[in-house]
Amino acid sequence: MQRILAVLLLALSALMGAGCAHNAAETSTGLSYRPGDVGVYAVSAPRRGGVGNVVAPVPAPPRTPSVAYDRLTPTDWHLAAGSWVGTPYRTGGTTREGTDCSGFAGSLHSEVTGIRLPRTTGQQWEAGQEVPVNALRPGDLVFFQTLRGQDAVSHVGVVVGPGEFAHAGTSTGVVFAKYDQGYWQRRLVGARRFVP
């Protein structure tokens, strides 16, 4: 039994380094892995004088937020959004390789809270719970009208702290900005909240 546990631990520890690799790699035991393969693996019993084989990966459980939604702090939101800063703007994008404003808002919310938001700015505006601007808290979405001659909301960002939001601008990519002054204050239409 101890030998089986030792083999299991050896196989798992060899695979734990997978998250740091960028390409497929091979462990000292001859096992290959790719980033994202880290998880629980089924291991066959060792043969006499040998090592057991990794049989099949068992998918890791889905990510869930580690902190209750109501206990998330401005720091939690700021750090999560900060990890996106510098991501270029890409129409229709939802990843760190390129994102648009609603893709960023949805991806950030999913990452921090586990809540899946509708995909487009208009859909997010319609689906969220209305919140007065003077009652905003981190995680709320702020909506803007940035297109001349149109009444519909056209831009969205995520509140990360008092007066501050993160958003994906067409010319800036993901950045932090102030929603309570200047350009953004003049175009602020309203806010929405998504809670579990």
CA-CA distance, 57 to 131, in Å (whole number)? 44
- Per the annotation, the verdict on 101 as an active-site residue is yes
Q: Among the options 22, 78, 109, 167, which is catalytic?
A: 167
Quote the distance between the C-alpha of residue 181 and its chain's center. 28
Tokens for 14, please give them: 């060899």
- State the catalytic residue, choosing from 22, 78, 109, 155: 155
Over the Cα atoms of the chain, what is R_g? 22
The reply to whether 167 belongs to the active site is yes
Residue 20 annotated in active site: no
Q: Residue type at 30? A: G
Looking up tokens 């994102």 gives: 99
Q: Where would I find the H helices in 93-188?
A: 101-113, 121-127, 182-187
Q: Which of 20, 22, 78, 101 is catalytic?
A: 101
Residues with a known catalytic role:
101, 155, 167
